[in-house]
Amino acid sequence: MSDAPRRPPFPEECGGSPSRRRFLAGAAAAVGAAILTACKGGSIEEFLQRQFHQLSPAEVEVLIARLEREHMEKFGSSVRVGNEPPIPGIEFGYALDLSRCIGCRRCVYACVRENNQSRDPQIHWIRVLEMEKERGVNIHHADPYYDHDLVPAEGHFYMPVQCHQCKNPPCVKVCPVRATWQEPDGITVVDYNWCIGCRYCMAACPYGARHFNWGEPTLPAGELNPETHLLGNRPRPKGVVEKCTFCIQRVRKGLYPACVEACPTGTRKFGNLLDPESEVRYVLEHKRVYIFKEDLNTQPRFFYYYGA
């Protein structure tokens, strides 16, 4: 928990100042309680909870305590919901070597385990595309469902796609309720309690990096990763959107993302874009770099390169 000032809440021109919102919330409490008895799931606290930036540090603590209690009830084991703030002077970046990826999907399942994605309905934050070497990067001929005995398959190359943590993120722009935003370290996060499930962000994202919980997420209790982050891998409810956060619960503690550690070929590189000594900066300065859908001006912090 930090006392670092969060960025300002809704600007005035967006309408709805906190006090008005609080008044309405109070007035609606009685109605809300009536509705809640009819709706399944969700506590009064959750119903009355405000957007993340409007919470005071004390309120965040209350929220975390409530979430930890709820997860405990649901999974029968203790879950730590962290709230590590962004580290000043850090902007995370990612580089992936297209010449080395063999399409083994180890990253996909390491991500699922680390980030508590729903097993059924299945959610994968990383999608590995198989493409023909002869055609180059051409998503009209990309197959994410390849199922070979052994990879890499002759004449093919592989391109894992996940959230590009854009500097100009279309998903953030279209969110009607500001349930998703860019953190100062470049990670785009989702407030799962504020998301209304409209899925505009999914339509806006050119990388297919956002995923919707169409059903109640299932997560076997034994497979729950108890080290979570409030804006990252804590268990999600049904009806909200989720996405890759570069493993916010790991990277803000100095660890590499789970996909980097799982990759058997060293295809994945991660580091601070503002540090000239970092691995990503070396790649950007010495290798041939490819930016996926660069023409859309999303300005990704995720780069593909050709390292061989």
Partner 1 sequence: MTAGAVLLLAALALGPATVAGAPKEDFRVPPPPLTEGIFPCSECHASMEVDRRRRDLTDMHDDIVLKHDEEHRWCLDCHAPDDRDRLRLAGGQLIGFSESYLLCGQCHGDKLRDWKVGVHGKRTGSWNGPKQYLLCAHCHDPHAPRFKPMKPEPPPVRPGQAVRPGEADHE
In this structure, the strands spanning 156-161 and 127-132 are antiparallel
Q: Which stretch binds partner 1 (CB under 8 A): 57-65, 77-85, 194-202, 259-267?
A: 259-267
Among positions 209-238, residues that touch partner 1 (CB under 8 A) are 214-215
- Asked if 269 interacts with partner 1 (CB under 8 A), we say yes
| Residue 149 makes contact with partner 1 by CB under 8 A | yes
Nearest alpha carbon to residue 291 among 125, 182, 168, 153: 168
Q: Which residues pair with 158 in a beta bridge?
A: 130
> What is residue 12's DSSP assignment?
G
CA–CA separation, 176 and 194 (whole Å): 11
Give the span between the Cα atoms of 83 and 26, in whole angstroms. 27
Over the window 60 to 89, marking each residue x when it contacts partner 1 by CB under 8 A and - when it does not, the resulting string is ------------------------------
50 φ/ψ angles, rounded to the nearest 5 degrees: -95, 175
Alpha carbons 47 and 87: distance in angstroms, whole number: 31
For residue 219, the tally of other CB atoms under 10 A from its CB is 18
Contact flag: residue 284 with partner 1 (CB under 8 A)? no
* CA–CA distance, 141 with 131 (Å, rounded to integer): 6
Among 32, 85, 206, 307, binds partner 1 (CB under 8 A): 307
Q: Note whether 127 binds partner 1 by CB under 8 A.
A: yes
Residues binding partner 1: number (CB under 8 A): 46
282 forms part of the interface with partner 1 (CB under 8 A): yes
Piece of the chain touching partner 1 by CB under 8 A; list 6-14, 122-130, 163-171, 221-229: 122-130
- Interface positions with partner 1 (CB under 8 A): 90, 102-106, 108-109, 119-122, 124, 127, 144-152, 214-215, 251, 254-256, 260-261, 263-266, 269-272, 278-279, 282-283, 286-287, 307
